[in-house]
Amino acid sequence: MSLGLGSNLLGSTLISACGSSTEKATIVKPLKTGFNQADLPYEYAALAPSIDAMTMEIHHTKHAAGYAKKLRQAATNEGVDQAKPLEKVLEKISKYSTSMRNNAGGHYNHELFWQIMSPNGGGKPEGELLAAIEVKFGSYNDFKSTFEKAGADRFGSGWAWLVWNNGSLEIGSTPNQDNPLMDVSDFKGVPLMGIDVWEHAYYLKYQNERGDYISNWWDVLNWSKVAERFDRIKGQV
C-alpha cells in the first residue's frame, strides 16, 4: 500500500518502533490501536445536544462493543498476534477474511471516533493544522463544506475522513467499516479524524437528516486531539 508517507510510517516507524525507544513510543502512541474496547472518556450524555445519550450508549455498548468482540474472535481464528497494533492488520487487510476486514475496521474507526469528540469540543483548529487546512482548502469554511459533502454524499453506510497523505491533507470517504489505512481502500492516508455516517450513529435524534447530524458534530469535535495526531504524524515523515 502506498500512502506517500513512506512505508516506514505505517510499516517500520508506526509499527515496529513501538517500544524501540521511549521517545519513539511516545510519538507513535496515539497511532497504535489495541484489540480491546476502551472506556469512553466522557459520559453518554456528555455530547448532547449534538449526540443524544441513548444513541451514544447503544452505539458504544452494542455496535462498537460487537466489533471489538468479533475482531478478537477473528484474530484468534486467523492467528493474529493481538499484542501488536491493529494498524499492522489493517495495512494488509486483503490477506484476511471478510470478518476480519469488517470488524477490524469497525473497531479501529470507532476507537478513533470516541477519541476525537469531547463535551468541550467545537471552535476551530489553530496553529499548523489550521495553516495546513487553509493551504489545502482555501479557508476553514471551505474545508468544512468539503468534509460535510464527503459525509453527506457517502452512499449508504460509511465514514468521511480527513487524512494526511503525500505531505498534504485530503478529504474522502469509505464504505461500510473500511478506512484509509486498508490496502483495499481506494482512498488512502493516515486518519486525523473521521465521522461515522452509518444510520445507527444519528437516526434516533436526526432520523433521515444526516446533514444536520454532520453540521452539529462540529460542536463536539475535539480539535486539540486532531491537532495532536496531525503533529505526531507529520513528525514521522
Write down all domains in the chain, each with its CATH number in brackets: 35-115 (1.10.287.990), 127-234 (3.55.40.20)
Q: How many CA atoms lie within 13 A of 2 on its CB side?
A: 2
Q: What is the pTM of this model?
A: 0.87
Helix (H) or strand (E) holding 137: helix 127-137
**Given the C-alpha cell 477490524, which residue does it identify?**
104
pLDDT confidence band for 236 (50 / 70 / 90): low
Calculate mean pLDDT across residues 13-40.
Answer: 56
Cα-based distances in Å from 131 to 70, 89, 212, 219: 40, 33, 27, 21
Cα-based distances in Å from 104 to 37, 58, 147, 156, 181: 12, 19, 24, 20, 11
Calculate mean pLDDT across residues 84-94.
Answer: 97
pLDDT in tens, 106-136: 999 999 999 999 999 999 999 999 999 999 9
